[in-house]
Amino acid sequence: MITFDDVVKVYPGGSTAVDHLSLELPTGKMTVFVGPSGCGKTTSLRMINRMIEPTAGRILIDGKDVAGQDEALLRRGIGYVIQHAGLFPHRTVLDNVATVPLLLGKNRKEARAAALDLLDRVGLAPEFASRYPAQLSGGQQQRVGVARALAADPPVMLMDEPFSAVDPVVREGLHREFLRLQKDLGKTIAMVTHDIDEAIKLGDVVVILRQGGKLAQVGTPQELLDHPADEFVAEFVGRDRGLRSLSFDTAAALPVKPLPDDLVLDDAGRPEGWRTADGVRSTAGTFLTSDSLRLVTDLAIMSPVGIAVRVDAEGKADGVVPHHDLVDHLAARRGQK
């Protein structure tokens, strides 16, 4: 657990970056700091590994004040991922990842073997090991950066806007990969982002800071969306927070109707489109019972006939949800909260 105990940071000249911040980041969970520019989120992150020293207050990791620990030893036990990965340009991918194991006393063979295993964990094939950072795409570099941060198997990881420098499609893939990794590894992670959608998607806990480094609200993504503490939080999470909250419920409980005659299927029963007066038009996609209500809502809106199509694991259509049934289900869901 990481604890902020009445932490203050005032920079020379009197600018307050963090103003009496007290909160706990739970063990084995991902806590995401988010807020407007200048709210102190990156300063808060960097005080954890003493890259920045607080003016007052304490930061503790598992009950031990970081101020009393050797800076180099403290940082070796904390993984750190930044924008643009921060890789050594003159070292191969393998040697970039092997840097920390070597510092921790492993011989070169052991360190490289560990590095290869980590590259596989973050979804990079062995042929990338001999390449240099300049030969990688932005998304690949970020994967290497995550692998290097994991190289010492640290219990704590800090991530400073790690996915902001890549395009939206690559970012989506990195999000999926990182959520998979975190499910397996269960690290205690503090992450900074300026993107509320990213915070809601990745965070087990989300910390919203307001200008001047003041804590506005802390809670689960669902709590922030359903019960914003004030107008600032409501504005920050967005007026479409009701739609965003649908990301946390699956389509498993949705009532479905039999397949209608105007749904065109291929020989294997997979949907090809809707038969309309203008010809066969796309379904706009399909959903599984494990998918979110947000996806089903989007499919119903985008469908040419206002109907979302459910499929099984093989892609065979097994039911439909008309938009009016979806609206009734969402209304009932809201009434239960």
pTM over 0.85: no
Contact predicate 119/72, CB 8 Å: no
What tokens were used for 131?
């390449």
Q: What is the pLDDT along the chain (337 residues), one digit of tens a residue?
A: 899 999 999 998 888 999 999 999 999 999 999 998 889 999 999 999 999 999 999 999 999 999 999 998 888 888 888 876 678 889 999 999 888 888 778 888 888 888 888 888 888 888 899 999 889 888 888 888 888 888 878 889 898 888 876 777 777 877 888 888 888 888 899 999 988 888 988 899 999 999 989 999 999 998 898 889 999 998 888 877 777 788 888 899 899 999 999 999 999 999 999 998 888 999 989 999 989 898 999 999 999 999 999 999 999 999 999 999 999 988 887 766 5
pLDDT in tens, 109-131: 888 888 888 888 888 888 899 99
Q: Sign of the CA dihedral 283, 289, 295, 300?
A: positive
Contact predicate 293/308, CB 8 Å: no
- Residues forming beta bridges with residue 279, ordered by sequence position: 276
* CATH-assigned architecture of domain 251-335: Roll (3.10)
Other beta carbons less than 10 A from residue 209's beta carbon = 27
Domain 2-247 - what CATH class?
Answer: alpha beta
Rg (CA), the chain: 23
Q: End-to-end alpha-carbon separation of the chain, Å?
A: 30
Q: What angle do CA 256, 259, 261 make, to 5 degrees?
A: 150
Closest alpha carbon to 326 in 246, 224, 265: 246
Contact predicate 192/45, CB 8 Å: yes
Domain boundaries, the chain: 2-247, 251-335
What is the Cβ-side half-sphere exposure of residue 249, based on CA atoms within 13 angstroms?
Answer: 19
Distance of CA 56 to the CA centre of its chain: 31
Cα–Cα distance, 195 to 179 (Å, whole number): 17
